[in-house]
Amino acid sequence: MIVLRHRKTGDASFLSHIDAMRVLQRTMRRMKAEVRYSEGFVPHMLTYTTTPLPLGVQSVAEYFVADSPLTDEEELLDRFNACVPSGMRADLCRVTKGNPNLAARVVASSYEVRAEERITDEVLKIMSMPEYRMRRIKKGQEIDEEVRSRIYALETDGDKLFMTLATGNENLRVDSFVESLSRFGVRASANDIVRIEQFASLDGRFVAAKEILQ
């Protein structure tokens, strides 16, 4: 298996998850990565990703997995970056014996938010609250959610907010969460958010996804 950690920045952040997958799969074909296909009635390229980002949110830590027999990590990284759009270039390539199943193993993501003005420490009060409710749109309807258990860390630095939120089965939608922070004076759009890393849980602690690739 080939695992690539790639960006989704600039214009690429406005690609839907399906369109981004198409770009990545076309890149595999251009670089002649010999990706295997399913054996069903309509064969499809065997590729996998982690939890998709909301439209407009940027990332420097997206993980793309392709079922391929190739093994030269350095060459694969060079070939991938020569064929993919600049907003989706990779900084890491790992070859694993089997599917690392990152979609199931990743449970958290860290983000950086750059706001329009200085962020006060008022937002940090969330960490001591017994519950935190926010509203978001789901399937065309506004819902009210209690999400405190899915907020793992918050830290401020001038006009920046660093946070770690649940990803995967217990996913906390990051753009909706940041929008809810307007009550604390935080002004930022989806494109001001960057996913920095994704994490698996190992022995009760968060470990960067790149560290569990074997």
Which two tokens mark 163? 């946070």
Number of domains the chain is built from: 2
Structural domain boundaries, residue 168: 105-212
Tens of pLDDT, residues 141-170: 888 899 999 999 999 999 999 999 999 989
Q: Which of 60, 89, 104 is the last residue of a domain?
A: 104
Residues 86, 165: one domain?
no
Please count the CA atoms within 13 angstroms of the CA of 143 that sit on its side-chain side. 11
Q: Which of 104, 134, 153 is the last residue of a domain?
A: 104
Residues 140, 95: one domain?
no
Residues 29, 86: one domain?
yes
Tens of pLDDT, residues 188-211: 999 999 999 999 988 889 999 999
Q: Give the pLDDT of residue 49.
A: 93
Q: Give the pLDDT of residue 176.
A: 94
Q: Give the pLDDT of residue 131.
A: 96
pLDDT confidence tier of residue 90, bands split at 50, 70 and 90:
very high
Q: Which of 76, 104, 132 is the last residue of a domain?
A: 104
Residues 54, 27: one domain?
yes
Q: Is 124 exposed, middle or buried (0-12, 13-18, 19+ CB in 10 A)?
A: middle
Residue 125 belongs to domain with CATH number: 3.30.70
Distances (CA, A) of 9 to 32, 81, 84, 115, 207: 25, 14, 13, 17, 24
Helices 73-83 and 17-30: angle between axes, nearest 10 degrees: 120
Q: Give the pLDDT of residue 142.
A: 81
Calculate the dihedral angle through the C-alpha atoms of 163, 173, 9, 7, rounding to the nearest 10 degrees.
80
Tens of pLDDT, residues 119-148: 999 999 999 999 999 988 777 788 889 999
Per-residue pLDDT for 41 more than 90?
no
